[in-house]
Amino acid sequence: MLQDLRIAFIGGGNMARSLIGGLVAKGCKPGRISVSEPNAEQRALLAKRFPVRMSEDGAAAVQDADVVVFAVKPQVMKPVAESVAVAAQSRKPLIVTIAAGITIADLDRWLGGGHAIVRVVPNTPALLGSGAAALYANPKASADQRAVGQALLEAVGTALWIEDESLMDAVTALSGSGPAYFFLLMEHMETAALELGLPAAAARQLTLQTALGAARMALESGEAPEALRKHVTSPHGTTAAALAVFEESGLKAIVARALTAARDRGRQLSRESAGHKPT
């Protein structure tokens, strides 16, 4: 499917590089991939890894593309989209956007209207082929185009559909920002282990391997995290003592507040990117 398409990336940063790497690994020919990136350093990084077609001109990258992936920061999406609108109107490619907080309606308007658009919330583990992405498509996107969007993200991990665009900010709060939450917990676990006297190397390795093992158990066992937690918690044991502190400290409420704050910030960024004044 993807191997037969011409794919253009607007923006050549980390996420674009991970997607290009996934596409090449799936058999897409680099010569059918074009990238528009104004930053010379980013272009050099891409050119070093993949023999894709490079350009500073977004319109040139779009003019013969079947799929256009917008991989730019939300703050610059409007002028970037408007700069390629004429070429996009002429070609009418499938539009895929991974810019956080940008609604399909706003992007479609900036591109001149009438486009099939798939909006994606990816996350950084896509860089390792272990991403978790959620997708939403507007009614203009056909079943075949939805399949293309899904295949594009499955090249770097798991991809699932959300059928209500208003929930995409909640996805950003959960999986888009989520890796940082786990990094923070690992950071604090490692620090606490050091304070308990463990050598630095042991504290680091045991923390990371424990996180990996827990994630694998949750993915591969088919059981809910709650059930797994109960399996490893003996009454009055060491795990129970630690979990009691988490509960007493209000961890559940802290997590809920954190995700709500991330979701609300996503909504605010969306309004700001669309040019709406904060209320």
Residues forming a β-bridge with 53: 34
pLDDT at 1 over 90: no
Rounded Cα distance between 165 and 162, Å, is: 7
Place of tokens 């319109």: 59
Rounded Cα distance between 261 and 267, Å, is: 10
Name which of 19, 53, 59, 22 is nearest 35 in CA terms. 53
Mean pLDDT of 242-271: 94
Give the CB-side neighbour count of residue 224, counting CA atoms within 13 A.
Answer: 3
More confident residue, 26 or 278: 26
What's the token pair of residue 66? 């079947």
Question: What backbone torsions phi and psi does residue 116 show, to the nearest 5 degrees?
Answer: -80, 120
Rounded Cα distance between 242 and 123, Å, is: 30
Q: What is the pLDDT of residue 272?
A: 81
Dihedral sign, CA of 228, 231, 232, 235? positive
For the chain, the structural domain boundaries read 2-171, 176-264
Contacts of 232 (CB under 8 A, 6+ apart): 239
Q: What is the pLDDT of residue 276?
A: 59
Average pLDDT across the chain, whole number = 94
Q: What is the pLDDT of residue 277?
A: 54
Place of tokens 């995700």: 259
Mean pLDDT of 154-158: 95
Q: pTM of whole model > 0.85?
A: yes
Contacts of 223 (CB under 8 A, 6+ apart): 231
Name which of 107, 118, 116 is nearest 149 in CA terms. 118
Name which of 55, 121, 68 is nearest 266 in CA terms. 121
pLDDT bucket at 226, cuts 50 / 70 / 90: very high
Rounded Cα distance between 117 and 108, Å, is: 8
Looking at domain 176-264, its CATH architecture is: Orthogonal Bundle (1.10)
Mean pLDDT of 137-142: 98
Rounded Cα distance between 141 and 95, Å, is: 9
Name which of 120, 66, 62 is nearest 93 in CA terms. 66
Q: What is the pLDDT of residue 266?
A: 87
Domain 2-171 class?
alpha beta
Q: b/e for 83-104, b at 16 or more Cβ within 10 A?
A: bbbebbeebebbbbbbbbbbbb
